[in-house]
Amino acid sequence: MKNLKSIALTLVAFVTFSATAQKTVKVDAAKSTINWVGKKVTGKHEGTVSLKEGALVFDGKKLVGGNFTVDMTSINVTDLEGGMKGKLEGHLKADDFFGTDKYPTSKLVFKKIATKENNTYTVYADLTIKDKTNEVVFDIVVKDKTATAEVVIDRTKYGIEYNSGSIFDGLGDRAINDDFTLNVVLSF
């Protein structure tokens, strides 16, 4: 009986230690950056969007989780100025793109993480844009107090079909690529 009690106490101590080994680290949204690139037949546009909040979860030094909220109302075009900049920003915020009045945020939640090498992980995450959720897969590098990733997103999976050459015929040089890229730098 005494031996059984010792085993039970050891098990409780182990489970408690294992459960508390994970640490959630808040990401500094003000110091983090998300740069986007969208391409079309005749060129590309670039800009930024702001992280509203986020956190990474570690078990020791190993990345095991993460979740983020992006402020879609902060979409900014950096390759244009004046009226053309305002026009494109307005269009990106309109219903035929991100519909930021109705959908002011997007969310990314890590579901599964596979360790690679050199502080690199492959992340399988759920990305929600315009209330549509799809899986995205990308590599993230965590070093010191920074995490970097390049995430490629197919906008048509989120109902953003404006001038998509894969959906509409005859667009010619007005076609816009379905994929856009986010280059993310997270500071924590």
pLDDT of residue 27: 98
Closest by CA to 105, choosing from 147, 161, 53, is 53
How many separate helices (H) and strands (E) can be counted in the chain? 2, 9
**How much is the pTM?**
0.86
Q: Is residue 46 part of a domain?
A: yes
Work out how many domains the chain is built from and give that number: 1
Convert the pLDDT of each residue in 24-41 to its tens digit: 999 999 999 999 999 999
More confident: 1 or 136: 136
Convert the pLDDT of each residue in 155-188 to its tens digit: 999 999 999 988 888 888 889 999 999 999 999 9
Convert the pLDDT of each residue in 110-125 to its tens digit: 999 999 999 999 999 9
Domain span holding position 127: 23-187
CATH code, domain with 117: 2.40.128.110
> What is the secondary structure of 154-186 as a DSSP string?
EGGGGT--TTBTTTSSS-GGG-EEEEEEEEEEE
Q: Is residue 1 part of a domain?
A: no
Q: Above 70 in pLDDT, residue 67?
A: yes
